């Protein structure tokens, strides 16, 4: 069964439950109405007859009404949960149907012109891999996913195979993965709050754990309550009680800043804490068999205190309420409640300050891996690539995974002794897209993901791209200089001994044709001399003569054709150099007269 059918089946089952809950809510509303009427009748007879039976009946009706109201609240909560699950499944249907490009979170802040490939291969930003697969709902999950997608770590074939198995295991756990999404959404936890929470946990205020603080916390409430009892029982002046409250309030004022900052912080974390506790609890209970998944959640599995400790800090957060009103001031001054909470918080921080970030990091890791596993679940026909020892690529019917609907498939190989393929072709024929197709499928392979093709064999290399260079007016960088900086990074990578796979699109296009040709030729030879391999797209047909001079280079091309004087493309890769041009045709389309 396709993933889309499974999501639709989930929605159908949840919709049936929603109907049941709505029916229950309607019944409860009817019962509440009846109880209200009966209560009104009881009150009427109490006023008229003052009968004891009607008083008892009224009390019972109030209790039943409260109970029914509780049930009604629970049913409303169920309704909210079911509607959230429908939203989650609808979002997954959009992913499966290729309608994910409307999703708002694109991870644009992770873009970096200095990174080897993320800008050019659409890892982040508009129509990106991150936009497609990101189902993380916590700060740490989102950060972990971005880190994984940006990784330039060279993994062994064994490590990549383990990753493939781990992602496949997670892909099969659809209920578990949707629960990871569901809990934070249900709690409406603000994703950006986590970082400051970690900083707060590591801050210490030892005074609240000192003997004098303990003495004040115990003695002052005892004195206040004793005075209150004497006022009530022995008719002592009420002013004594007010004085006790003022004294206690004054003591609290001495630590007002520390208390206010700490309690306001924890109050702002309340929804996050509840989400983290529930999510960690779900992860602890889940059964994993694959090594990478076990390692990811290892600290949560090994240290079963994680969910208990997060539950405890959540409970402390729940003890907080609006500190700005008069009722809280009286309550606080009577029981020194701020000191009670601060002591609980400081004890918790002292016990857990070195573990909290590890727990949330583990949560984020499994959340990020879960997001990656969506590709396995939604693309059952995609193939798992084979990682080989040789620095080669052999692709059969490979297409770009982010092109919706299905992109054109091409077969391609770069095997010894070939190190560089020169890709020529007319404008818009598909050269740049093909370079990105190879690049992003390489990234998919190293992430442990399946690829959009019939088969792919490749060695472990790091993609380095120079494609979308542009002016940066703020830094005073022209597009040509930006291109030079990209090339410089590629050369440095080869000189440091990295296994580089370069993707160069119209290299040195910002200079004259002679310098462009010379620069491209020298760069290709220099990169190959350091063992690098890759693809170069170019309009410079003279560069194709290198195939005759150097057995490490081969020519490939795309072409256009015409139907009823209209330009068409089939985007199919062919052997040899390009023999067609379309620039004149395109210029004529723009209204440029070439016969003047």
| 299 confidence band (pLDDT: 50, 70, 90) | confident
* pLDDT, mean of residues 355-384: 93
Report percent pLDDT > 70 for the chain: 92
| 262 confidence band (pLDDT: 50, 70, 90) | confident
**Position 334 pLDDT exceeds 50:** yes
Bigger pLDDT: 17 or 113?
17
* pLDDT, mean of residues 375-390: 94
**Position 120 pLDDT exceeds 90:** yes
The 10s digit of each residue's pLDDT in 38-54 is 878 877 777 777 666 76
The 10s digit of each residue's pLDDT in 563-577 is 777 778 889 999 998
pTM across the whole model: 0.86
Q: Are 390 and 419 in contact (CB under 8 A)?
A: no
**The pLDDT value given to residue 582:** 61
Q: Are 181 and 189 in contact (CB under 8 A)?
A: no
**Which one, of 584, 549, 576, 535, lies nearest residue 425 by Cα?**
576
Q: Are 166 and 449 in contact (CB under 8 A)?
A: no
**The pLDDT value given to residue 304:** 62
The 10s digit of each residue's pLDDT in 6-17 is 999 999 999 999
* pLDDT, mean of residues 378-384: 93
**The pLDDT value given to residue 474:** 44
**Position 102 pLDDT exceeds 70:** yes
| DSSP H or E run through 74 | helix 52-97
**Position 208 pLDDT exceeds 90:** no
Q: At what angle do helices 305-318 and 337-352 cross, to 10 degrees?
A: 160
* Out of 108-112, 199-203, 442-446, least confident range: 199-203
Bigger pLDDT: 357 or 449?
449
**Position 358 pLDDT exceeds 50:** yes
The CA distance from 253 to 240, in Å, is: 20
Instruction: For residue 88, give both structure tokens.
Output: 């989650």
**Position 472 pLDDT exceeds 60:** no
Q: Beta strand 420-424 with 574-575: parallel, antiparallel or unpaired?
A: unpaired
**The pLDDT value given to residue 540:** 86
The 10s digit of each residue's pLDDT in 414-424 is 999 999 999 99
Please give the C-alpha separations between residue 130 and each of 107, 119, 166, 378, 415, in angstroms, as whole numbers: 6, 12, 19, 15, 31
* Out of 220-224, 270-274, 289-293, least confident range: 270-274
**Position 322 pLDDT exceeds 70:** no
The 10s digit of each residue's pLDDT in 126-138 is 999 999 999 999 8
Chain centroid offset of residue 1 CA: 27
CA dihedral sign, ordered 59, 60, 63, 65: negative
| Mean residue pLDDT across the chain | 87
Report percent pLDDT > 90 for the chain: 50
Bigger pLDDT: 31 or 130?
130
**The pLDDT value given to residue 376:** 94
* Out of 176-190, 416-430, 480-494, least confident range: 176-190
The 10s digit of each residue's pLDDT in 227-238 is 988 888 888 888
**Position 502 pLDDT exceeds 80:** yes
| 33 confidence band (pLDDT: 50, 70, 90) | confident
**The pLDDT value given to residue 43:** 74
Q: Beta strand 553-557 with 560-563: parallel, antiparallel or unpaired?
A: unpaired
**Position 595 pLDDT exceeds 90:** no
**Position 384 pLDDT exceeds 80:** yes
Chain centroid offset of residue 540 CA: 42
| 387 confidence band (pLDDT: 50, 70, 90) | very high
**Position 191 pLDDT exceeds 70:** no
**Position 510 pLDDT exceeds 80:** no
The 10s digit of each residue's pLDDT in 513-560 is 788 888 889 999 999 999 999 999 998 888 999 999 999 999 999 988
The CA distance from 381 to 540, in Å, is: 38
The CA distance from 342 to 373, in Å, is: 42
* pLDDT, mean of residues 310-326: 77
**Position 328 pLDDT exceeds 70:** yes
Query: Taking the C-alpha atoms of 215, 217, 219 and 223 in order, what is their torsion angle to the nearest 10 degrees?
Result: 160
Instruction: For residue 83, give both structure tokens.
Output: 């509607």
Provide the CATH topology of domain 386-589: Rossmann fold (3.40.50)
**The pLDDT value given to residue 470:** 63
* Out of 25-29, 347-351, 405-409, least confident range: 405-409
Domain boundaries, the chain: 3-97, 205-285+304-363, 386-589
* pLDDT, mean of residues 434-446: 97
């Amino acid at each position: 069964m396709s993933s889309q059918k499974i999501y639709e089946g989930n929605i159908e089952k949840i919709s049936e439950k929603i109907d049941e809950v709505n029916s229950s809510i309607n019944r409860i509303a009817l019962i509440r109405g009846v109880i209200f009427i009966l209560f009104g009748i009881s009150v009427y007879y109490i006023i008229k007859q003052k009968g004891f039976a009607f008083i008892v009946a009224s009390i019972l009706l109030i209790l039943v009404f409260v109970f029914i109201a509780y049930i009604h609240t629970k049913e409303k909560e169920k309704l909210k949960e079911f509607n959230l699950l429908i939203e989650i499944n609808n979002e997954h249907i959009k992913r499966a149907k290729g309608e994910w490009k409307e999703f708002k979170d694109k991870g644009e802040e992770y873009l970096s012109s200095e990174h080897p490939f993320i800008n050019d291969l659409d890892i982040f930003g508009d129509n990106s891999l991150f936009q497609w697969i990101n189902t993380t709902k916590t700060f740490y999950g989102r950060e972990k996913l971005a880190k994984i997608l940006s990784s330039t770590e060279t993994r062994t074939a064994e490590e990549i195979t383990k990753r493939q198995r781990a992602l496949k295991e997670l892909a099969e756990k659809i209920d578990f993965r949707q629960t990871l999404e569901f809990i934070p959404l249900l709690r409406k936890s603000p994703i950006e709050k986590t970082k400051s929470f970690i900083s707060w946990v590591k801050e210490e205020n030892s005074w609240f754990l000192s003997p004098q603080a303990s003495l004040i916390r115990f003695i002052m409430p005892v004195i206040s309550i004793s005075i209150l009892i004497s006022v009530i029982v022995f008719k002592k002046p009420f002013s004594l009680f007010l004085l006790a409250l003022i004294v206690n309030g004054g003591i609290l004022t001495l630590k007002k800043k520390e208390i206010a900052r700490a309690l306001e912080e924890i109050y702002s974390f309340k929804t996050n804490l509840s989400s983290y506790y529930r999510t960690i609890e779900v992860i602890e209970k889940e059964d994993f068999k694959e090594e990478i998944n076990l390692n990811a959640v290892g600290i949560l599995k090994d240290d079963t205190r994680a969910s208990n400790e997060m539950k405890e800090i959540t409970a402390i957060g729940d003890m907080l309420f609006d500190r700005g009103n008069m009722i809280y001031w009286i309550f606080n001054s009577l029981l020194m409640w701020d000191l009670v909470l601060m002591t609980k918080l400081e004890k918790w921080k002292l016990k857990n300050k070195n573990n909290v970030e590890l727990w949330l990091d583990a949560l984020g890791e499994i959340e990020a891996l879960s997001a990656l596993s969506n590709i396995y679940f939604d693309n059952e026909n995609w193939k798992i690539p084979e990682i080989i020892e040789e620095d080669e690529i052999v692709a059969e019917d490979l297409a770009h995974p982010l092109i919706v609907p299905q992109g054109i498939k091409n077969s391609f190989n770069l095997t010894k002794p070939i190190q560089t393929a020169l890709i020529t072709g007319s404008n818009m024929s598909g050269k740049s897209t093909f370079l990105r197709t190879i690049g992003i499928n390489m990234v998919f392979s190293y992430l442990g993901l399946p690829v959009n093709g019939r088969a792919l064999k490749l060695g472990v290399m790091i993609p380095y791209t120079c494609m979308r260079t542009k002016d940066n007016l703020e830094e005073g960088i022209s597009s040509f200089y930006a291109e030079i900086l990209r090339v410089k990074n590629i050369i440095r990578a080869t000189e440091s001994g990295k296994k580089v796979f370069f993707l160069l699109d119209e290299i040195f296009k910002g200079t004259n044709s002679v310098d462009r040709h010379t620069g491209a030729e020298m760069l290709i030879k220099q990169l190959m001399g350091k063992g690098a391999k890759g693809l170069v797209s170019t309009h410079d047909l003279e560069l194709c003569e290198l195939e005759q001079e150097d057995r490490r280079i081969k020519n490939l091309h795309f072409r256009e054709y015409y139907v009823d004087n209209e330009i068409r493309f089939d985007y199919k890769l062919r052997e040899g150099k390009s023999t067609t041009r379309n620039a004149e045709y395109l210029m004529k389309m723009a209204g440029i007269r070439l016969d003047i």
